[in-house]
Structure 1
Amino acid sequence: MTQPAQAPIDETPVPARPSRWPWVAGVLVVLLAGAGVYWFVLRDDAGVPQTVTTSGGQLNQAVEDGEFVFTVSAVRCGLPRVGDEFVDLEPQGSYCLVDVLVKNGGTTPEYFDSTSQKAYDAAGAEFGTDMQAEVFVNTDAQNFLDQINPGRQVKGTLVFDVPATTSLVSVVLHESFSSPGARIAVR
């Protein structure tokens, strides 16, 4: 029995499909650039200078920054951990807790961003907040990220992770990351 003749195999190389990664990366770059333009140029508070107000207040004294009025009532430093019965968070150094009352003195609802708040020691070193620790410290308080309606106020505690022997001398509280800030002496 004779086997039928097979058609010759076409060995012409198939052109490779162009990679989609350059397109994906390009789209991501455009989206990030657009977000940056919105954040730094088109927002309502984009023209506010990013300098810190040197005047300010002290413990239990109300100070303003933009539409917010801040009152710091207590500062506790040297805490070795925060948490609950399930989670025990330990700082790199120690925690400083700053009790603050935030009032919206404006006419529109606003958000309080705890990540825009800063603390300072006697040498001028700056410390940011630890949002993960704030979740456990503020279990009974309205979340700082909730909207604050005009005329309303929220109480909460800011948490700073500082070197173990550090004590804070001031905090600078901001309505937004680009507002001037209100310096409050805490010692």
Structure 2
Amino acid sequence: MTHPVPPVPQPQPKKSRGCLWATLIGLGLVVLFGFVGCVAVIASVGSDSSSSGQSASSGDKKDDKGDSAESSDEEKTAGIGDTVEDGAFAFTVTDIETGVSRIGNDFLHHDAQGQFVIVHVTVENIGDQAEMFHGSSVKLYDADGKEYSNDGEAEIYLEDSEAFLTDINPGNKVDAKVVFDLPEGVEPVSVKLHGSLFSSGVTVSLS
């Protein structure tokens, strides 16, 4: 009787060291690429946030500058002694008289209903042709914003008024006296001078 011969175990194949290194290198590259990708994404997000912040900051600065410029323009109101321009004329208000009750002399005069206010203004023609200046192109305002027109009749009795239909050639100027009849106790605060009937005019403070 014969006994079965037990199977002889086969030797396990040895793993190649080259394959092992290739696997390790592959894993290392995967980890490296993943890390580089994360860094790139983080950097991109940070850059976008920074750009947005800078844009917003820049916009705020521009707005601030714009607001400051507008506020500055609003605060800069011309006053007595300042020269302003409108149309073909340059105006300089040089003086103001208030509380005048009569204009003229004992024989030829004009009495105020309230009080005469006389605005002294130098008018220069800065255009290229003759232009006519008239006191009606100047409006006076009180603290309540009420508008007053000139008194042309009183200007006729005022010596050297130069405010009644005065032609001014280019480069020439006149010293006009524009008369207003205001209620007693009313204080004039500003005048608006027009280079023509249709111009926007310029405001000069009298205070």
TM-score by length of 2: 0.61
Question: RMSD in angstroms over aligned alpha carbons?
Answer: 1.9
Instruction: Flag the structure with more relative contact order, 1 or 2, with Cα contacts below 8 A and sequence separation at least 6.
Output: 1
Distance 2:185 2:107 in 1: 28
CA distance change for structure 1 residues 143 and 116 in 2, over 3 Å: closer, same or farther? Answer: closer
Deviations 1:134-167 (A, max 9, x none): 1122x23545412100010000100000111111
Of 193, 196, 199, 1:179 maps to 199
- Structure 2 counterpart of 1:135, one-letter code: I
Corresponding residue for residue 92 of structure 1 = 113
Kindly indicate whether residue 122 of structure 2 is the aligned counterpart of residue 101 of structure 1: yes
Q: Is the 8 A contact 1:93 1:161 kept in 2?
A: yes
Tell me, in whole angstroms, the C-alpha distance in 2 between the residues paired with 1:152 and 1:131.
23
In terms of Rg, which structure is larger?
Answer: 2
Q: In structure 2, what is the equivalent of residue 77 of structure 1?
A: 98
Task: Confirm or deny: 8 A CA contact 1:98 1:159 kept in the other structure.
Answer: yes
Specify every segment of 5 or more residues in structure 2 that has no aligned partner in the other structure, as ranges.
Answer: 1-74
Judge conservation of contact 2:163–2:177 (CA < 8 Å) in 1. Answer: no
Secondary structure at the residue paired with 1:80?
strand
CA change 1:141–1:123 in 2 (3 A) is closer
Map of 1:136-151 to 2, 5 A cutoff? 136-137=157-158, 139-142=159-162, 144-151=164-171
**Mapped contact 1:108–1:149 kept (Cα < 8 A):** yes
Q: 1:154 aligned to 2:189? A: no
Aligned amino acid, residue 131 of structure 2 = E
Are 2:138 and 1:120 equivalent residues in the alignment? no
* 5+ long unaligned stretches in structure 1: 1-53
CA positional deviation for 1:56: 4.5
Assess if the C-alpha contact under 8 Å between 1:55 and 1:182 holds in 2: no
How far apart are the structure 2 equivalents of 1:55 and 1:178?
Answer: 24
d(CA) in 2 for partners of 1:142, 1:121 = 24
Of all paired residues, the percent bearing the same amino acid is 38
* Distance (whole Å) between structure 1 residues aligned to residue 162 and residue 144 of structure 2: 33
* Equivalence for 1:132: 153
SS in 2 for 1:69: strand
Q: Deviations over 1:58-115 (max 9, x none)?
A: 1011000111000001111111111123123111111000001000000110000211
CA distance in 2, matches of 1:79, 1:143: 18
Cα distance change, pair 155–83 in 1 and its aligned pair in 2 (3 A)? same
Checking the alignment, whether the CA contact within 8 Å between 1:56 and 1:63 is kept in structure 2 is no
Take 1:97 and 1:68, find their aligned partners in 2: how far apart are those partners? Answer: 20
Tell whether the 8 Å contact from 2:96 to 2:119 is kept in structure 1 after alignment.
yes
How many residue pairs match? The answer is 134
In 2, Cα distance between equivalents of 1:131 and 1:164? 19
User: Deviating runs (4+, > 6 A) in structure 1?
Assistant: none
